């Protein structure tokens, strides 16, 4: 099986829905260790993406959908998450430019490029208590699943499972990047909001294949 434009569009739609449903949870997480706006930021961004989705032409390829998400998030989401996620979708789009049907290798390229884009912008490493704590294990799991002969669905599924664990693993950490880093020891015991939104977005990517 391959990931198509229909998949990319469904992923974006479910992402917008899931982010809207979790808007208040994400705000709550960000209230504990940040400024309480992560859900609001993400919901504003994906709401704007939904408004522009009809601009995607009927013969579009997945990279065009990803580019639309990138430019919309960059222009509508303030704060740290807008440029970080915007760069992720932009680099993901570039990695699969023009490809109509994404095979296992392209699926891994998409995820790897997204993660690399976030690192390029934010310079976070595993353990800094950021969204990268979800992305790094997700990409590692995706690479491993591809090497084991996995399909794009297997790869997305492995990535989402690893992101779930990565998001949970941020809870005991002290933050070394972003607003939460000002809190020192007080950040312990709270899940990073960006790692949580990453987990939700990667789970949505699987769920639209499975249904």
Q: How many residues are present in the chain? A: 211
Which member of 16, 33, 34, 39 binds Mg ion (CB under 5 A)?
A: 34
Give the nearer residue to ligand ADP in terms of CB position, either 30 or 154.
30
| Region binding ligand ADP by CB under 6 A among candidate stretches 2-10, 51-59, 76-84, 152-160 | 76-84
Helix and strand numbers, DSSP H then E, in the chain: 9, 0
Q: With binding defined as CB under 5 A, does residue 196 bind Mg ion?
A: no
Smallest distance from the beta carbon of 84 to ligand ADP, in angstroms? 5
- Residue 176 binds which entry of ligand ADP, Mg ion, none, with Cβ cut-offs from 5 to 8 Å by kind? none
Which member of 96, 124, 158, 204 binds ligand ADP (CB under 6 A)?
A: 124
Which member of 25, 79, 127, 171 binds ligand ADP (CB under 6 A)?
A: 79
| Region binding Mg ion by CB under 5 A among candidate stretches 5-13, 33-41, 119-127, 129-137 | 33-41
Q: Binders of Mg ion among 64-103, rule CB under 5 A?
A: 79
Rounded to an integer, what distance in angstroms lies between the CA atom of residue 178 and that of residue 44?
Answer: 20
- What b-and-e string marks burial along 30-63, b requiring 16 or more CB atoms within 10 Å of the CB? bebbbeebbbbbbbbbbebbbeeeeebeeebbbb
> Which token pair is 116?
């690399």
Rounded to an integer, what distance in angstroms lies between the CA atom of residue 113 and that of residue 180?
Answer: 25
């Amino acid at each position: 099986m391959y990931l198509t434009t229909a998949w990319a569009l469904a992923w974006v739609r479910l992402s917008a829905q899931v982010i809207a449903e979790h808007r208040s949870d994400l705000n709550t997480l960000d209230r504990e260790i940040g400024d309480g706006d992560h859900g609001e930021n993400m919901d504003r961004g994906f709401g704007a993406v939904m408004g522009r989705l009809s601009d995607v032409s009927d013969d579009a390829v997945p990279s065009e959908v990803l580019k639309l998400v990138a430019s919309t998030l960059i222009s509508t989401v303030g704060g740290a998450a807008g440029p970080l996620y915007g760069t992720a979708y932009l680099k993901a789009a570039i990695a699969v430019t023009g490809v109509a049907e994404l095979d296992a290798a392209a699926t891994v390229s998409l995820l790897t490029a997204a993660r690399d884009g976030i690192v390029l912008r934010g310079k976070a490493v595993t353990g800094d208590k950021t969204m990268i704590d979800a992305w790094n294990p997700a990409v590692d799991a995706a690479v491993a699943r591809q090497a084991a002969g996995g399909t794009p669905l297997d790869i997305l599924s492995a990535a989402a499972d690893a992101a779930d664990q990565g998001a949970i693993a941020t809870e005991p950490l002290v933050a070394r990047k972003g607003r939460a880093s000002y809190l020192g020891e007080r950040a312990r015991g709270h899940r990073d909001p960006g790692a949580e939104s990453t987990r939700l977005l990667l789970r949505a990517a699987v769920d639209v294949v499975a249904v």
